[in-house]
Amino acid sequence: MGTSLTIGKAINAGLRAAMEHDPKVLVMGEDVGRLGGVFRVTDGLYKDFGADRVIDTPLAESGIVGTAIGMALRGYRPVVEIQFDGFFFPAANQTFTQLAKMRRRSAGALSVPVVMRIPYGGGIGAVEHHSESPEAYFTHTAGLRVVTVATPEDAYWMIQQAVRSDDPVVFLEPKRRYYEKAEVDTGAAVQDAAPMDAARVARSGTDVTLLAYGPMVKTALQAAEADTDHSVEVVDLRSLSPVDYDTVTASVKRTGRLVVAHEAPLSGGLGAEIAARVTEECFYHLESPVIRVAAFDTPYPQSRLEEYYLPDLDRVLDGVDRAFAY
Active site (catalytic) residues: 130
Q: How far apart are the first and last CA of the chain?
A: 48
Radius of gyration of the chain (CA): 19
- Contact predicate 176/122, CB 8 Å: yes
CA distances from 316 to 120, 136, 219, 224, 311 (A): 20, 20, 8, 9, 7
208 within 8 A of 232, measured Cβ to Cβ:
yes
104 exposure class (CB count in 10 Å sphere: 0-12, 13-18, 19+)? exposed
Contacts of 204 (CB under 8 A, 6+ apart): 233
Of 176, 123, 184, the residue nearest 148 (C-alpha): 176
Contact predicate 316/291, CB 8 Å: no
Amino acid found at 287: E
| Residue (of 294, 192, 169, 133) closest to 242 by Cα position | 169
Burial class (CB in 10 A: 0-12, 13-18, 19+), 38: middle
Q: What is the DSSP letter of 159?
A: H
